[in-house]
Structure 1
Amino acid sequence: MFARKKKLLQAIERKVFRGFEVPEDLAPLTDIDPNEAGAGNKSGVTAEEVESIWAGVEDFYRRGAHPFVSLCVRRHGEMILNRSLGYVKGAMGECEPVVGSLETPVCLFSSSKAVSAMLIHKLAEEGHVELLTPVSYYIPEFAAGGKANITIHDLLSHRAGVPGIAADVPRDVLYNPDEALRHICEMETLHSDGRISAYHAVTGGFVMAKLVEVTTGLTIQQYLDTVFRQPLGMKYFTYGIGEEHHDNVARHYETGLKNPKPIENLLSNVLGASVSEVIEISNSPEFKSSVIPSGNIYSTAEEACRFFQMMLDRGEWQGQRVLDPVTVLRGTREVGGARLDKSLMLPMRYSAGMMLGGKPAGLYGVDTHHAFGHLGFSNILCWADPQRDLAVSLVSSGKPVISSHIVPLLFTVLNRINKACEPCVDGLYDLPQYHPAG
């Protein structure tokens, strides 16, 4: 009787929250990296704590909001957990279900911004740009609409005043960077001195791409490949993804409650399209084949975690210098404190490229004031926490806003990760100092 009632409740929950049917046995849908560190390693995290974290992920998955989930966690440089769970496609009955794996590439959406921003910081490290110089010095047409004095630093910290492309601009402008940039350059800024914080969901990336092009002669794809993809030994980690991998990409699904009109309107303003449209666009071959620097790096969870481990190690990866430590500091140091973001209508802490954690709580859980990373649409979280010596990447394929998955995500998965990896340095005095490499 109890089992029947439970199944009935699950069926109702799936109907209300537009979820998929989750099998009782998750083992056939699970892929575990054999290179996970064992118990008694230098990470200080026990095997029981690792399994507790994964049990939280399974609980999160059982809510039926995310057909595919993958999590990678590194502590003190050791990979303590790297696993995937679920379907690449077919979860909603649109085709025969296909089980994903650790090699399944996932679109990072806005978590791509953290990577793109660090490319601009690399430009500054190499002497191609000065962060406090106006964008219009390098891209003269950007000066229109009161933007002449908007600096590169303003752009990186969501203060360029051009948070979204106008609603009447065709959606296929995403696939034409020059046309997208033309529209952005013609826009009026919210304020000419960059004092207004307003999240730039798509626009900033096109400007960054042009900065790379005019100062190096390279495309931003080529620069990404040179600066990060090759040095970190990535298989994917590109804007867009090769056509030969299109069928392997985790499909995106609209799940969760139908968004109330005020929330849908807010998201449409931020994203430049309705949630349904964004999901449809993101599953298209055109999106997968395009270069959209603010939102379409394709990566595995492990590759994204690898990037943030490099950031955590102050620009070094396996003995190779990727970024100068001071460059990492410039990209992760808080800009202006927590303040209301005029796009998201939430208090946000930004650096020049990252979304920062908070205390008593923030995007990355409780007591994460020193954490830096980025949120991706809608439950993709990639971050590093220097106070915990922790790097994490959680990627997922469902796109719910309001759903029953929120509690296990925020209060189980993130909480268990942070509890297993308690702060190991004093937040005020013991964080590493940043000196030039060499």
Structure 2
Amino acid sequence: MRLPRVPRLPLVPDPLRRARIPSDVESVISRAAEVDPRSVGMTVDKIEHIWNGVVDLYRGGAHRAIQVCVRRRGQVVLDRSIGHAHGNGPRDKPDDEKVLATTETPFLAYSASKAVTASVVHLLDQRGQIHIGDRVAEYIPEFAKNGKEFITIGQVLAHRAGMPIHPPELMTLDALHDRERILQALCDAKPISRAGKLQAYHALSGGSILGEIVHRVTDKNIRDYLGSEILSPLGFRWTNYGVSLDDVGKVATNYVTGPPALPPVSTMVNRLLGVSTSQAVEMSNDPRFLTSILPAGSVVTTANELSRFFELLRAGGELDGVRIFEPRTIRRAISEQSFLEVDFTLAFPVRYSYGFMLGGKHFSLFGPDTMSTFGHLGYTNILGWADPDRELSVGLITSGKPVIYPEVFSWLGVPARIGASAPKTGSPR
């Protein structure tokens, strides 16, 4: 009997927008030099346990590439990447050219940039050029209107300036390079609350305010100041705001992944950034974004360099014999300012210092039992942090940009594995 013909159905797009995972995962893994973990009080099994968590996260398909670098007592015990820097996205065809991500591939750090910006501000405080208790208007007089007269630099760093909403007219690729336009919009903006009253994450506005202060005080843009005063003395290749046009092609592509964001999450993101999650990711791949100075979100780095930057802070401000910060500067920078309040913008409890997110006793982005840990999250699954108790400094970078997705607990499990793999030996500085 002849069977009836079954009509061919159209190809249904993957609702989770996942990467194509190769059958041979080892073929997309890159490794850099690592010391024997036993020399710094860890074990080979523990390091592999961390890495297995990263591989499991990659297999979930939400991240086209993942880099991780872990330093213990200043020594690199894990420095690896997995996946592709380009060519394995939701819109890419299976036969499109794929470029392997290596440990040297630079990635956009998004909001992890805020930790770098905060460090620049604290360096100016250390040198007596500003004081974080000063009012912003002392350095930007035209800022003192519409109820912003009493906002302090410290309140901007601690997300308590009452200005979490970035002016929507600034969320264009052309506006990113227009300093005067950005400044005018911030000066004209009205805060949503009295300064110091409400804890509300400043996704972009705070960075722009701090960047302008740096410019006013040093007569340099924050990119040049960061480069000359911190990065160049320590020999960093990346970790500055944006890259040169010649380097744009080296930066890994970011991909929208995971289920589409729905209200209320999508509403919150649109209100916070002025664009949708998909638009934000697409903009971040544009050369105009990748060459911009956006103090809250355009640092380009590698997991190794992000780990090394936090090692500088964990070690009290001195790295490889070069002192940048005084220990007291670091202590002030990571002093708690929020006491685990529910953030009005993010809608979950966060502990903040003057520019850093802090760990927690039972649960935090950096794993449990991390009260002395400080670092910062980057959109959406990027983390840089230092754990003084365990003598760790870590960079964890991903190029997939899901908002809420099934594998999020696998991602949270990676910092937890890192913390559990290193016994406590140090003490908070």
TM-score of the pair, normalised by structure 2: 0.93
Q: Does 1:74 align with 2:71?
A: yes
Query: How far, CA to CA, are the matches of 1:360 and 1:380 in structure 2?
Result: 21
Instruction: Show the 5 A alignment for 1:349-388.
Output: 349-388=351-390
Q: 1:230 to 1:19 in 2, by over 3 A?
A: same
Q: 1:39 to 1:423 in 2, by over 3 A?
A: closer
Q: Give the aligned partner of residue 14 of structure 2.
A: 15
The match for 2:36 among 38, 41, 44 is: 38
Query: How far, CA to CA, are the matches of 2:223 and 2:136 in structure 1?
Result: 20
Q: Give the aligned partner of residue 6 of structure 1.
A: none
- Give, as a single letter, the amino acid of the residue that structure 2 aligns with 1:38: D
Measured against aligned partners, the alpha-carbon deviations of 1:196-228 in whole angstroms (never above 9, x if no partner) come to: 111111111111111111111111111100222
- Give, as a single letter, the amino acid of the residue that structure 1 aligns with 2:70: V
> Structure 1 residue 415: deviation in Å?
2.2
Query: How far, CA to CA, are the matches of 2:34 and 2:169 in structure 1?
Result: 49
**Contact 2:199 / 2:338 at 8 angstroms: preserved in 1?**
no
Query: How far, CA to CA, are the matches of 1:378 and 1:59 in structure 2?
Result: 18
What SS does the corresponding residue of 2:233 show, helix, strand or coil? coil
> Structure 1 residue 192: deviation in Å?
3.4
Q: Give the aligned partner of residue 8 of structure 1.
A: none
**Contact 1:305 / 1:392 at 8 angstroms: preserved in 2?**
yes
Q: Give the aligned partner of residue 414 of structure 1.
A: 415
> Structure 1 residue 175: deviation in Å?
2.8
Measured against aligned partners, the alpha-carbon deviations of 1:271-318 in whole angstroms (never above 9, x if no partner) come to: 331101101100101001111111010011100100000100010101
**Contact 2:170 / 2:182 at 8 angstroms: preserved in 1?**
no
Q: 1:158 to 1:135 in 2, by over 3 A?
A: same
Q: Give the aligned partner of residue 54 of structure 2.
A: 57
Measured against aligned partners, the alpha-carbon deviations of 1:235-286 in whole angstroms (never above 9, x if no partner) come to: 1111111111111111010000111221111122223311011011001010
Q: Does 1:325 align with 2:327?
A: yes
**Contact 1:335 / 1:350 at 8 angstroms: preserved in 2?**
yes
Query: How far, CA to CA, are the matches of 2:320 and 2:425 in structure 1?
Result: 22
Query: How far, CA to CA, are the matches of 2:212 and 2:37 in structure 1?
Result: 48
**Contact 2:359 / 2:370 at 8 angstroms: preserved in 1?**
yes
> Structure 1 residue 193: deviation in Å?
3.4
Q: Give the aligned partner of residue 7 of structure 1.
A: none
Q: Give the aligned partner of residue 25 of structure 1.
A: 24
Query: How far, CA to CA, are the matches of 1:296 and 1:168 in structure 2?
Result: 18
TM-score of the pair, normalised by structure 1: 0.91
Identity of aligned residues (%): 37
What SS does the corresponding residue of 1:280 show, helix, strand or coil? helix
**Contact 1:371 / 1:386 at 8 angstroms: preserved in 2?**
yes
- Give, as a single letter, the amino acid of the residue that structure 2 aligns with 1:90: G
What SS does the corresponding residue of 1:365 show, helix, strand or coil? coil
Q: Does 1:233 align with 2:235?
A: yes
> Structure 1 residue 376: deviation in Å?
0.1
Question: When the two structures are aligned, how many residues end up with a matched partner?
Answer: 414
**Contact 1:190 / 1:196 at 8 angstroms: preserved in 2?**
no
- Give, as a single letter, the amino acid of the residue that structure 1 aligns with 2:181: E
Q: Does 1:305 align with 2:288?
A: no
The match for 1:293 among 283, 295, 301 is: 295
Measured against aligned partners, the alpha-carbon deviations of 1:160-212 in whole angstroms (never above 9, x if no partner) come to: 11112233555232332221121111111233332211111111111111111
- Give, as a single letter, the amino acid of the residue that structure 1 aligns with 2:115: A
The match for 1:91 among 79, 88, 93 is: 88
Query: How far, CA to CA, are the matches of 2:194 and 2:260 in structure 1?
Result: 37
Query: How far, CA to CA, are the matches of 2:196 and 2:144 in structure 1?
Result: 13
Query: How far, CA to CA, are the matches of 2:367 and 2:179 in structure 1?
Result: 36
**Contact 1:241 / 1:298 at 8 angstroms: preserved in 2?**
yes
**Contact 2:171 / 2:275 at 8 angstroms: preserved in 1?**
no
Q: Give the aligned partner of residue 172 of structure 2.
A: 171
Q: Give the aligned partner of residue 149 of structure 2.
A: 148
Q: Give the aligned partner of residue 124 of structure 1.
A: 125
Measured against aligned partners, the alpha-carbon deviations of 1:323-366 in whole angstroms (never above 9, x if no partner) come to: 11111111111113111211112111100000111111111111
- Give, as a single letter, the amino acid of the residue that structure 1 aligns with 2:68: L
Query: How far, CA to CA, are the matches of 1:416 and 1:347 in structure 2?
Result: 22
**Contact 1:177 / 1:206 at 8 angstroms: preserved in 2?**
no
Query: How far, CA to CA, are the matches of 1:238 and 1:369 in structure 2?
Result: 28
The match for 1:197 among 179, 195, 199 is: 199
What SS does the corresponding residue of 1:71 show, helix, strand or coil? strand
Q: 1:169 to 1:52 in 2, by over 3 A?
A: closer
What SS does the corresponding residue of 1:261 show, helix, strand or coil? coil
> Structure 1 residue 52: deviation in Å?
1.3
Kindly report the root-mean-square deviation, in angstroms, between the aligned alpha carbons of the 2 structures: 1.6
Q: Give the aligned partner of residue 428 of structure 2.
A: 431
**Contact 2:171 / 2:274 at 8 angstroms: preserved in 1?**
no
Measured against aligned partners, the alpha-carbon deviations of 1:3-55 in whole angstroms (never above 9, x if no partner) come to: xxxxxxxx99x92311011002122211111x2011431x2111111111111
Instruction: Report which stretch shifted further, 65-74 or 191-200.
Output: 191-200
Q: Does 1:134 align with 2:132?
A: no
Query: How far, CA to CA, are the matches of 2:139 and 2:194 in structure 1?
Result: 17
Q: Give the aligned partner of residue 251 of structure 1.
A: 253
**Contact 1:304 / 1:393 at 8 angstroms: preserved in 2?**
yes
> Structure 1 residue 100: deviation in Å?
1.3
What SS does the corresponding residue of 1:101 show, helix, strand or coil? coil
**Contact 1:199 / 1:270 at 8 angstroms: preserved in 2?**
no
**Contact 2:171 / 2:273 at 8 angstroms: preserved in 1?**
no
Q: Give the aligned partner of residue 214 of structure 1.
A: 216
Q: Structure 1: which 5+ runs fail to align?
A: 1-10, 433-438
**Contact 1:148 / 1:192 at 8 angstroms: preserved in 2?**
no
Q: Give the aligned partner of residue 3 of structure 2.
A: none
- Give, as a single letter, the amino acid of the residue that structure 1 aligns with 2:66: V
> Structure 1 residue 424: deviation in Å?
2.0
